[in-house]
Amino acid sequence: SVISFIFLKQRYDRKLKRSAKIMKTFGIDLSAPSQYNSNSLDKWEIPKDNVVVNRRLGEGAFGTVYGGEARLGSGNWTAVAVKTLKAGASTEDRVDFLSEAEAMKRFNHKNIIQLLAVSLQSEPIYSIMEFMLYGDLKTFLLARRNMVNDKVSDDSDISSRRLTMYAFDVARGLAYLADQKYVHRDLACRNCLVNAQRVVKIGDFGMARPTFETDYYRFNRKGMLPVRWMAPEALALGRFTPASDIWSFGVVLFEIISFGSYPYQGLTNSQVLEFVKKGNTLEIPIGIKPPLVGLINACWSQEASKRPTALEVIDFILNYPRLLTPSLDFPGAAVEFPEK
């Protein structure tokens, strides 16, 4: 038991070290709660009286996400999504929750989920974001899969024009993040949300890090890596860069045209890991247009430096307003999959 004590202590020390590092990166000072209850209140802080939650939207990594309304600076009540930190969460989860909110405070872009406010003065703590009516892009696409053989107009949710706009929105969000010197590290349709106007925005900054940070150690809360979205150098060396986000964008393109299909259907996570590390990629569904095949292949270049930048992707898509066409014509497209 002495040994297990030493082991636990070492593990605890490592956790503390990492937490300290994150807090330093994001300027969080847990030892100074006065930051929140003095008169120098964080400009993002709003009292709980100004928030009503009225329904459950989904389960997040830290706690339930609710839909509701909040009275923001303007005094008007606005539809919002409220992320909560579940009661009894560990210090580590708390740090992760707060650092996600801190990261989001820096961002202000049409294609990035906007943080609107936080409410940290009483438990449970909230981070309050713009409301995205149609939820995540993967569920949105899955729900529209049965329309694939319908004749659709340009304004249909699944027209080529619309599918291309979803991809364009994600690329714009990525370009902004790269410009802000941020690497998302977990780009996937499940982490993009769709609003009432069908604008797609990148969310879930739980794994996002400043580009310079080299802390790949404890990757995400459940210790699970999004291997199916990860570039070979991210899998092999833990190297996350704007270029590895572009690889993930290639997988997002696959997800969009295949209406939320699960990448590498039929392979386990560890098989995917070996497969991709050996230099293989997902099979591109047949029947899609050559320029899209070209773009996807470029995103999946083995050499990170050969992949296009998000700005180049934007330029490319601008030339082809109907670049993405639906494709369910590949093995595994129709199969149910185990994960969200």
**Cα(20)–Cα(27) distance, integer angstroms:** 10
The interface mask with ligand ADP, positions 170-199, x = CB under 6 A, is -----------------------x------
Q: Does residue 311 interact with ligand ADP by CB under 6 A?
A: no
Q: Which of residues 134-163 bind ligand ADP (CB under 6 A)?
A: 135-136
Q: Does residue 243 interact with ligand ADP by CB under 6 A?
A: no
Reference 299, options 245, 257, 250; nearest CA is: 250
- Characterise 181 by phi-psi region: left (phi > 0), alpha (psi -120 to 50), beta (else): left
With CB under 6 A as the contact rule, the residue among 203, 226, 308, 326 that binds ligand ADP is 203
**Cα(138)–Cα(160) distance, integer angstroms:** 17
* Sign of CA pseudo-dihedral 28, 32, 37, 38: negative
**Catalytic residue (one of 186, 215, 245, 315):** 186
- Would residue 186 show up in a list of annotated catalytic residues for this protein? yes
Q: Does residue 206 interact with ligand ADP by CB under 6 A?
A: yes
Cα 176 to chain centroid distance, Å, stands at: 14
Residue 61 or 311 with smaller CB distance to ligand ADP: 61
Q: Does residue 131 interact with ligand ADP by CB under 6 A?
A: yes
The two tokens of residue 229 are 């979205």
**Cα(315)–Cα(317) distance, integer angstroms:** 6
Q: Does residue 57 interact with ligand ADP by CB under 6 A?
A: yes
Residue count at the site for ligand ADP (CB under 6 A)?
A: 19
With CB under 6 A as the contact rule, the residue among 23, 35, 45, 58 that binds ligand ADP is 58
43 annotated ligand binder: no
H-type alpha helices, the chain: 2-26, 34-37, 91-105, 137-143, 160-179, 232-237, 242-257, 269-277, 290-299, 310-318
Residue numbers of the site for ligand ADP (CB under 6 A)? 57-62, 65, 81, 113, 129-132, 135-136, 193, 203-204, 206
Catalytically active residues are: 186
Annotated binding residues for ATP, written as ranges, equal 83
